[in-house]
Amino acid sequence: MAPSTLYEPYDLGPYTLSNRIVMAPLTRSRAGAGNVPQDINAEYYGQRATAGLIITEASQISPQGCGYPSTPGIHSPEQVKGWIKVTKEVHDRGGRIFLQLWHVGRISHPSLQEDGALPVAPMALQPRGDAFTYQGLKPFVMPRALETGEIPGIVGQYRRAAENALMAGFDGVEVHAANGYLLDQFLRDGTNFRTDGYGGSRRNRSRLLMEVLETVTGIWGGERVGVRLSPLNGFNDISDTDPQATFGHVVEALNRFGLAYLHAVEVDMTGKLGDTFDWQKLRNAFDGPYMANGGYGRERAEQSIDSGPADLVSFGVPFIANPDLPARLAEGATLNKADPETFYGGDSRGYTDYPTLKDKAA
């Protein structure tokens, strides 16, 4: 049997990736004061530079976009300086790295907002569940609905963040439009029934995402911008009455930007596969590379790459515990098990101390 093309180089926009294995965005909550990336973050990403592409943990585009403690931002000069350490470390080790641009919308809490402000959203709809704060879990609050005249300001936040990512030395950016955060809140009819030009029809609900992409690709070029979508993910109390039609429309609208890739989360946050959704139809609607995510192991990833529909496969939790994941998959080696107790916050334990195959052989 011929070796899988999963482990072969792949041309993505202006870059040649060393393989088709992508490190998915993984919130780890280990940024320093001011949500500034630290030396330990550079070490963590550098350890994983053998991925064909690293997509960073979600990074808030503004103070308003913050929804979790100790998550990095990309809106201050100090944060840019912190990210420069990360990109240099990854590039010194021969890797490629994109920054994920994030605005959480209503999935926040006044204690995480400047001056205790209410989180913003398409509608004044309070999500079910609890926010993670520095004081522990607190119930989500009723968000404030964005006024039509405020929307250009949101787009402006993405513009400045994209410019900052360029200054920080990233190879590209991924626009986070998944998992129940602000752009996803606008896309879905369960959280957006506005009556202005940003609500109602699928075209209107997609308008903010398209305006963000127009701005971000204007800075980066479409070939260095990806988008992440999660049509079936109900995380953060999000829903849509017809996700196949909604996201089919969104993906077709994306084609005019000539994007680097479409990153599709094919599961909900419990890991359940979306068997009721036609992923092949979604993939066929997109003209560029398709990156699959969700529940992929070695065999399924190889099959999806070799037989379709995926061009790239992103791995989340396996990359937490296996900094050398591409080598382990290629060799069929046993994977380290991740410790969920150390996923969020803390120090180097469960972050930079997982052994590689070379460590075990030494």
In the chain, the domains with their CATH numbers are 5-319 (3.20.20.70)
Q: Please tell me the pTM assigned to this model.
A: 0.97
Q: How far apart are CA 261 and CA 20, in angstroms?
A: 12
Beta bridge partners of 144: 120
Element (H, E) at 88: helix 77-92
Residue 338: HSE in the Cβ half-sphere, 13 Å Cα cutoff? 17
Q: How far apart are CA 62 and CA 49, in angstroms?
A: 27
Active site residues: 181
Residue 7 · residue 40 · CB < 8 Å = no
Q: How far apart are CA 274 and CA 199, in angstroms?
A: 26
Q: List the pLDDT tens digit at each of the 362 positions of the chain.
A: 568 999 999 999 999 999 999 999 999 999 999 999 999 999 999 999 999 999 999 999 999 999 999 999 999 999 999 999 999 999 999 999 999 999 999 999 999 999 999 999 999 999 999 999 999 999 999 999 999 999 999 999 999 999 999 999 999 999 999 999 999 999 999 999 999 999 999 999 999 999 999 999 999 999 999 999 999 999 999 999 999 999 999 999 999 999 999 999 999 876 565 568 999 999 999 999 999 999 899 999 999 999 989 999 999 999 999 999 999 999 999 999 999 999 999 999 999 999 999 987 75
